[in-house]
Amino acid sequence: MMVFPLPILTFLLATVAGALLWRVDFGQPRARHLFAGFFGIVAVGALLVGLRFGYGIHALIPLQRALPLFGGPLLYLGFASLTPAAKHQIPLHLGFAAGLAIAMQTFGWSLLDGTIAASYACYSAAILWLWRKGPNHLIHARLELAPSLHRWMLWAAGFLIAMLLIDTTIAVSFALRRNEEAVQIISYGSVGLIALMIAAIVTAGSLAQARPAPQAASPSDENQLEQAAHDFLIESQLYLDTGLTIERLAKRLHVPMRNLSAAINQSKGMNISQYVNGFRLDHAAKLLRESQTSVTDIATQSGFLTRSNFYREFQRRYGKSPAAYRQAPPDTHGPT
């Protein structure tokens, strides 16, 4: 029997990683809570496994069995909380996990292993689905953290897949009454978790010390801030999102809304809606010149909520309707 089970070391490292992540400003407080909660689940689960197989303490087996049902949801929700569709997902996913845990406790644990495996598979797929949308989909993340968070999605999905394989192997070993083999697999899995926890601690420690990018944090020159907004919108094409607001743009640039509004007003003599619409109109004009897409589809693809608003703004800027603009010779297109 192990004197100091490896899962206990995993517990200690996961606790440290969770504490460090609690100090990180991701741009959305919920993300910090959810990521820290995930590491909390890992820590408690590892502690209970260590107590069970290292010291023969079995009283908390029901809790140890139920905890993995919350790992996938917490990890997925940490990333999802930084996206546009995050508002109502937390109670839905965590409530469903809690319902499964209660059902298992009430009706027996015979389907637990399959349920946990399905949870890991579904949430790894959900994280990969978010990853496919790209870093610009993380609209609530700090601007400088979005690329890193996008890469971490792949690691998170890989972690859930690894846990799926490990847990399935352990379950099969127990089903075949190969208890010693199962304990060995738990130890090997703990080694991998320890390596992951160390990497998480190093990453979380560096993030906890990180500060917003200097240019976006407190620009003294309004022209610089407007240029930062311009460059970001061009690079990210966030203006194509019909739900873009000054609040969201300011969060991505990590500046107060009033500073951003004042910078655009003073530098360009327009409000934020007019400013963003300028990018949308440029995009629409390019599509009219270079594609045969219908005007209605172009309006939608360019970020306009209504066709009437698109026609009105386009006419004001280019002095002609979208259809007339498309048919006009290149040298008469007007502003670009």
Which residues touch 236 (CB under 8 Å, ≥6 apart)? 136, 252
Q: Are residues 46 and 185 in the same domain?
A: yes
Q: Are residues 191 and 55 in the same domain?
A: yes
Q: Are residues 45 and 163 in the same domain?
A: yes
**Residue 263 domain flag:** yes
Q: Are residues 38 and 148 in the same domain?
A: yes
Pick the most confident of 14-28, 114-128, 163-177, 193-207. 114-128
For residue range 269-319, list pLDDT tens digits in order.
888 888 999 999 999 999 999 989 999 999 999 999 888 889 989 999 999
- Collapsing DSSP to helix, strand or coil, 295 comes out as helix
The domain tally of the chain equals: 2
- Collapsing DSSP to helix, strand or coil, 316 comes out as helix
Last residue of a domain, one of 164, 193, 209: 209
Q: Can you tell me the distance from the alpha carbon of 239 to that of 216, in angstroms, rounded to the nearest whole number?
A: 18
Q: Are residues 58 and 194 in the same domain?
A: yes
For 290-313, letters b (16+ CB in 10 Å) and e give eeeeebeebbbebbbeeeeebbeb
Which residues touch 38 (CB under 8 Å, ≥6 apart)? 18, 71, 74, 75, 78
Give the number of other CB atoms < 10 A from CB of residue 330.
Answer: 6
Q: What is the CATH number of the domain that holds 231?
A: 1.10.10.60
Q: Can you tell me the distance from the alpha carbon of 245 to that of 272, in angstroms, rounded to the nearest whole number?
A: 8
Q: Are residues 140 and 219 in the same domain?
A: no
Parent domain of 148? 6-209
Q: Can you tell me the distance from the alpha carbon of 312 to that of 310, in angstroms, rounded to the nearest whole number?
A: 5
In which band, very low, low, confident or very high, does the pLDDT at 215 lie, cut at 50, 70 and 90? very low
Tokens at 274, concatenated: 């007019």
Q: The whole model's pTM is what?
A: 0.63
Which residues touch 303 (CB under 8 Å, ≥6 apart)? 239, 240, 241, 242, 244, 276, 280, 283
Last residue of a domain, one of 176, 209, 242: 209
**Residue 1 domain flag:** no
Last residue of a domain, one of 159, 183, 209: 209
Q: Are residues 102 and 219 in the same domain?
A: no
